[in-house]
Every structure is written in structure tokens, then in C-alpha cells.
Chains A and B, each alone.
Chain A
Amino acid sequence: MLPSFAYVRPTTLKAAVAALAAPGTRAHAGGTDLLGCLRDRVFPADTLVSLAGLPELVGVTPTAEGGLRLGAMTTVATVAGHPDIAARYRALAEAAAAVASPQLRNQGTLGGNLCQRPRCWYFRGDFHCARKGGGKCFAVDGENRYHCVFGGETCFIVHPSDTAPALVALDALVRLAGAGGSRVVPLEKFFVPPSADFTRETVLEPGEVLTEVVVPAPPAGARSTYRKVRARGAWDFALAGAAVSLGIEGGRVKHARVVLSGAAPIPWRVPAAEQALIGHRLDGATIARAADAAVAGAEPLADNAYKVPLLRCAVEEALTALNS
């Protein structure tokens, strides 16, 4: 049985924002991550504020600038199956299709996918770890085969989302609505690394609702893909993965984004790999250089050194897939 909580389902965004400003409240989107956290007592909630009464947060629509606006309450399944997304933002369609299981994609939302809490077994388990306000990260000296190889410092989670690395590679923006209006943040800046604050994963303030994700018009000669490696064929979180978005003109890479998943506490953009691509033809040698650059400086823990070649290969495979 879940712990007790109150439940409200506001029918205006203003009312939802007002409800979420109260302490002890949590937004409920699809509930697939939230209810698991509540059941396992990862954090408490006095009141759940359901976003299901806000139909304006659902749907995929073109923007005036040639991009797409994706409402935060759009299901992951809709994102995975949307023809415009498949045609123009392939990395996102592939990432959404690789999320969890069919049932969870039917229920989980894009906003919830970006705001979901980490899957670290210490965080989810009975450990008062750093992220929960305790003094230490138990993964450093503990069981750490699924933990990060970049950006750990004080907490060694990996960011669990598949859509996040794809959307960062596509230069997505997110709109956050609060009491005083809304602000737009590049998705890359939405995620908070442990070095800045190890008790939160996003810049969302209490009372703020993620209302939409906007992907800008793709660059000239755009192609993108997401490669996810998991321990089994069916649903599982990424052991390693790579979202790559390129713009190729006149046979040369003009625009590049390389973002790793399963690698770091946030979707891990690797500018060095992007630099290794820009200005070059996308041939085997360039791809190998970029893949090497993508994992240079990795700092594996005792049990997760296997991730480094896995991440390198994910980048290599993603780039090779874009080379045809």
C-alpha cells in the first residue's frame, strides 16, 4: 500500500502552480516514477497535484520557427510514434521507443521522463545518501557497476532518462511555468550536476511546472540517432548510450552534438567529440577519433570500467549509422 496523501487535480495551469507552491506537494504526471518512489519511501508527499486536468500540456505542434513544441504531458508512446518526430528528429523518436516497456510508454510522459528521479540503488533503497541529505555517497566504495564514469564528484548516479540525451543533442529548450510567469531554459542547463548541487537533478523550483519542450528547426543536412546499450533485449535502463545529431553540408560535418547516456549524473555532452567531427568528412578515421574523444578522461569506479569501451562503441555505432 502506498503511504497516505491528498490528491488534487487542478484544471488551470495557474491553479496547478499555486498548488505546487505549498510544501510537501509533488506533481503527478503519468505517475510511473513518482508512485514507485512513494511506495519505496524514497521521499514523502503530503499532496499529489495531478497534471491530468491540463489538456493544454498534451500534444505535438509545429512552432512558427520551423521547430516542434511537445507538451510535457504528451506520452512517451506518442513521441515514439509521431511521424514528424521520426522524420526530422530521429534521435528523439528512437530514444522514446527505447524507454521502458510498452505499458510504461503508454502512461509515462515526456515531462516526467525528464524529471524522473535517479535509479541508484542506494538512493532508492534504505540509505540516507548524499542526495537524500545524508553525508555520503555509498556508491563510491559500494556496489557501483551501474554508476557514472563522468561528473561524479560527490554523487555517482547516472541520469536515467533516454529522451534527455536525445533532446540535449537536438538543442531542445524547456519552458518552466511558475507563480510569476514562465521562463525558458536550454535543456542542457535544466540538469544540475552534483558539483553544483548534489541534492537535486534539475533547476525546477518548488511550484514550477515543466509545461513544454521545444525542439528548434534541425540544422541544414540534419541527421540524428540514439544508440542505447542495455543488459537485456527488453526494457532496461541504459548501461551506456549515445545521442548524436549532425548537420552535414558539402560532405563535411558543419554541426555536431554528441551526448552520452548511462555515463554521468546529467546527460553528458562531450564538446571534444563534437570538435573532432566538425569540418571533417564522416569517415572511419573521423568517427574513431570522435569516439576516442568521447570517453577521454573517463573516471570509472571499481566495478564499472566496462562502461568506457561500451560508451566508446555506442558513439562509434551511432556515428557509423549516420554515415550511410
Chain B
Amino acid sequence: MARKPRDNEHTCPHGVSRRGFLGSLGAGAVAAATLGRPGETAPPEVADAVEPSKVTLLVNGRRHRLLVEPRWTLLHVLRERLGLTGSKPGCERGECGACTVLIDGVPRYACLTLALEAEGHEVTTIEGLMRGEELGPTQQAFAAEDAFQCGYCTPGQIMAAEGLLRAKPAPTVAEIRLGMSGNLCRCGAYPHIVKAVRRAAEARKGGGR
């Protein structure tokens, strides 16, 4: 008789566990999340250096009301305030791409974006690509093609790929290389990364976003 999965056990039909993704979601994210209410008062125009200022960020479809210092980057807030540690700090100077997120569907570096500047925009992180308990098609493709070694650059690579494919669903290899050129991989997984982006493009054709 087939064993029934227990309630606390996550299975994934594609053979990739999402343990790592769950583990990265700290309690802060849950505590900070509030349901968005239309017609909320406009944010203040001035933020003092010492006094943190109120900001509402829309991250992965959830509205978060937070107090942030003006100098906090979106990367800092995602990781340290929302517990979304999928986005990685690398250079923190716009040179490596480990922090890549989508802002209004377009890849940008969270390390060079002030949290206050992300207000009013839709932020998508690697956590936001999950389809419930399953990896999304772009994530699946990276796993299937072994498009990483240490994996540190991978969330950023996947977000760059996701942004590229949303804008250009059927890119050529040259367009993939160009689209992925803002993301470095110290492990040199580039050939597999290109394959993964091609696979993701194929996968997204049928039912992908």
C-alpha cells in the first residue's frame, strides 16, 4: 500500500525539495505582513535621517508596512526585515547580480535600490516565483540543468532569467547571453545557465507565465 505523505512533509512532483525555500522565510515576514487596504493614507514626503520612516512595500503580492531608515536598501529590508533571504548580497555595488529582483516585472539590483524608492512598485523575489509548494518553471529549469555549483549566484540568475523571459519569451542564445550578462557566477556555471534559460523558455511555452 502506498504511504500517504504526512501533513508536515512537502513533496514535489519534480523531485526538488522546497525545504531550503521554506527555511529562508523568517518569522519577521509573517509578522510584518498585513493585508493591503485600498485608500491608505499617502506616505510622508520627508524622511529624517535618524527617525525611521513608514513605508509600504508590495513584495510577492503581499503588502508590508514597515519602518525603514532612508539609507536601507531594498536588499537589506528584504533580507533583514522581511526574512526573504533568497536575494543574496554579493558586491553591493551593482557588479555581480546576486541581489537581482524584479521591480514591476523588470530585473534590477536590490543592492542599489533604496527601500523608499521601491514604494509604489511591485517587487518580486525568488520566493515569489514559487507556485504554492512547487518551484516555478524557471526555478525548475535551473535545477534540471544543474545550472549551479555553490548556488550563491543562483537566485539572482533565476530572477534575471525570469525578467528576460517575461520580456522576451523566446530568446536566441545571443539574447540569453546578453540578458544574463549582469550576473556573475564565480563557479563558472555559465554554459548550464544558458541551457537552463532555454529550458525555462520551452517550459513556459506550455502554461508558463
Which residues of chain A have a CB within 8 Å of any CB of chain B? 1-11, 28, 30-32, 35-36, 39-40, 46-48, 50, 52-53, 77, 100-104, 106-107, 233-235
Q: Establish whether residues A46 and B93, one from each chain, have CB atoms under 8 Å apart when the complex forms.
A: no
The residues of A that contact B163 with a CB separation of less than 8 Å are: 102
Q: Establish whether residues B107 and A102, one from each chain, have CB atoms under 8 Å apart when the complex forms.
A: yes
The residues of A that contact B22 with a CB separation of less than 8 Å are: none
The residues of A that contact B178 with a CB separation of less than 8 Å are: 102
Q: Establish whether residues A4 and B69, one from each chain, have CB atoms under 8 Å apart when the complex forms.
A: yes
A55 CB to nearest chain B CB (Å): 12
Residues B18-47 near A (CB distance < 8 A): 45-47
Q: Establish whether residues B160 and A103, one from each chain, have CB atoms under 8 Å apart when the complex forms.
A: yes
Given A36-B93, A102-B181, A104-B94, also A7-B47 (CB < 8 A): yes
The answer to the question of B170 belonging to the interface, with a C-beta cut-off of 8 Å to chain A, is no
The residues of B that contact A233 with a CB separation of less than 8 Å are: 181
Contact of A5 among B71, B97, B113, B181 (CB under 8 A): B71
Assembly CA distance A205 to B109 (angstroms):
30
Q: Establish whether residues A35 and B160, one from each chain, have CB atoms under 8 Å apart when the complex forms.
A: no
Q: Establish whether residues B71 and A103, one from each chain, have CB atoms under 8 Å apart when the complex forms.
A: no
Q: Establish whether residues A2 and B73, one from each chain, have CB atoms under 8 Å apart when the complex forms.
A: yes
The residues of B that contact A102 with a CB separation of less than 8 Å are: 107, 160, 163-164, 178-179, 181-182
Q: Establish whether residues B181 and A234, one from each chain, have CB atoms under 8 Å apart when the complex forms.
A: yes
The residues of A that contact B179 with a CB separation of less than 8 Å are: 102
The residues of A that contact B103 with a CB separation of less than 8 Å are: 106
Query: Which 5 pairs across A and B sit closest by C-beta, in order of nearness?
Result: A101-B182, A7-B70, A234-B181, A2-B71, A103-B182
Assembly CA distance A30 to B181 (angstroms):
20
Determine chain B's interface SS by DSSP, over half rule: mixed
The residues of B that contact A35 with a CB separation of less than 8 Å are: 73, 112, 114
Q: Establish whether residues A4 and B49, one from each chain, have CB atoms under 8 Å apart when the complex forms.
A: yes
The answer to the question of B146 belonging to the interface, with a C-beta cut-off of 8 Å to chain A, is no
Assembly CA distance A9 to B55 (angstroms):
13
The answer to the question of B85 belonging to the interface, with a C-beta cut-off of 8 Å to chain A, is no
13 A-B contacts (beta carbon < 8 Å)? A7-B70, A28-B117, A32-B109, A35-B114, A50-B116, A102-B164, A103-B108, A104-B94, A106-B107, A107-B108, A107-B109, A233-B181, A235-B182
* Closest B residue by C-beta to A97: B178
Assembly CA distance A28 to B47 (angstroms):
14
The residues of B that contact A47 with a CB separation of less than 8 Å are: 49
Q: Establish whether residues B45 and A1, one from each chain, have CB atoms under 8 Å apart when the complex forms.
A: no
The residues of A that contact B94 with a CB separation of less than 8 Å are: 32, 36, 100-101, 103-104
Q: Establish whether residues B117 and A31, one from each chain, have CB atoms under 8 Å apart when the complex forms.
A: yes
The residues of A that contact B48 with a CB separation of less than 8 Å are: 6
Contact of A8 among B45, B113, B160 (CB under 8 A): B45
The residues of A that contact B76 with a CB separation of less than 8 Å are: 1
Q: Establish whether residues A39 and B92, one from each chain, have CB atoms under 8 Å apart when the complex forms.
A: yes
Contact of A103 among B72, B100, B117 (CB under 8 A): B100
The answer to the question of B1 belonging to the interface, with a C-beta cut-off of 8 Å to chain A, is no
Q: Establish whether residues A101 and B71, one from each chain, have CB atoms under 8 Å apart when the complex forms.
A: no
The answer to the question of B106 belonging to the interface, with a C-beta cut-off of 8 Å to chain A, is yes
The residues of B that contact A53 with a CB separation of less than 8 Å are: 45
B3 CB to nearest chain A CB (Å): 45
Assembly CA distance A28 to B70 (angstroms):
12
Assembly CA distance A9 to B92 (angstroms):
24
The answer to the question of B2 belonging to the interface, with a C-beta cut-off of 8 Å to chain A, is no
Given A2-B73, A6-B46, A8-B47, also A31-B106 (CB < 8 A): no
B118 CB to nearest chain A CB (Å): 10
Given A5-B71, A106-B107, also A52-B117 (CB < 8 A): yes
The residues of B that contact A32 with a CB separation of less than 8 Å are: 94, 109, 112
Residues B94-143 near A (CB distance < 8 A): 94, 97, 100, 103, 106-109, 112-114, 116-117
New A-B contacts (6) at CB < 8 Å, excluding given A4-B71, A103-B100: A6-B70, A7-B70, A8-B47, A36-B112, A102-B164, A104-B182
The answer to the question of B150 belonging to the interface, with a C-beta cut-off of 8 Å to chain A, is no
Contact of A6 among B47, B107, B109, B112 (CB under 8 A): B47
Assembly CA distance A36 to B107 (angstroms):
19
Q: Establish whether residues A106 and B181, one from each chain, have CB atoms under 8 Å apart when the complex forms.
A: no
B115 CB to nearest chain A CB (Å): 10
Q: Establish whether residues B182 and A4, one from each chain, have CB atoms under 8 Å apart when the complex forms.
A: no
Residue of A4, A31, A103 with highest tally of chain B CB at under 10 A: A103
* Closest A residue by C-beta to B182: A101
Assembly CA distance A101 to B96 (angstroms):
10
Assembly CA distance A107 to B104 (angstroms):
11
Assembly CA distance A58 to B45 (angstroms):
20
* Closest B residue by C-beta to A75: B106
The residues of A that contact B106 with a CB separation of less than 8 Å are: 77, 106
Assembly CA distance A267 to B143 (angstroms):
46
